[in-house]
Amino acid sequence: MKFLSDILVASLLFFAFSLQGIDINRTNIEEISEQRTLSIIKPDATAKNITGSINARFEQAGLKIIAQKRICITQEQAGKFYAVHREKAFYDNICKYMSSGPIVVQVLQGINAVLKNREIMGATNPANAAIGTIRRDFGENIEHNAVHGSDSEENAAIEIAFFFSSLELID
């Protein structure tokens, strides 16, 4: 009988340690997927004075704004930022538009921040964006769509460096 209860205790201890092991692994995965992404509140949204409402969406979703500034950029600077779209029909218009009024550039940090931000933003065209997303609620049309968000971790690093020095990122 004593032998059986020893086996039972040993099994329970093994099970408990296994569970702990799973938790440790999960924590590691989460640490690895902590990311930063570049967000821009576009001229249509700054004109409506809704930067606070948009920031609240990020914070409610667990993203932390670790850098933020309200600036104006020239059409030439917008052209450099959107250089990947150089060949697209909408390139000139988006560059003119992004330099037509103040924008708020910001760095968001959190678990899977790149994808999470894209989900909070919604589809490029507000008409196709899911209910409850920023673009659905605040965007006007496919060009004036309230926010920009990096589309990959690699591009996020490039876009963050376009607007911020490492000293300006306050974790």
Q: Which residues are catalytic?
A: 148
**Stretch 126-155 residues interacting with Mg ion (CB under 5 A):** 151
Per CB under 6 A, 108 contacts ligand ADP: no
| Pairing mode, strands 147-149 and 34-41 | antiparallel
Per-residue x/- mask for ligand ADP, residues 147 to 166, rule CB under 6 A? Answer: -x--x---------------
Contact 76, 86 (CB under 8 A): no
Per CB under 6 A, 90 contacts ligand ADP: yes
Q: In which residue are the tokens 């009024």 written?
A: 101
Q: Which stretch binds ligand ADP (CB under 6 A): 46-54, 56-64, 108-116, 138-146?
A: 138-146
| DSSP codes of every residue in 104-168 | EEEEEEEETHHHHHHHHH--SSGGGSPTTSHHHHH--SSSS-SEEE-SSHHHHHHHHHHH--GGG
Q: Supply the minimum distance, in Å, between the C-beta of residue 121 and ligand ADP.
A: 7
Q: Which stretch binds ligand ADP (CB under 6 A): 8-16, 30-38, 67-75, 145-153?
A: 145-153
Residues making contact with Mg ion (CB under 5 A): 151
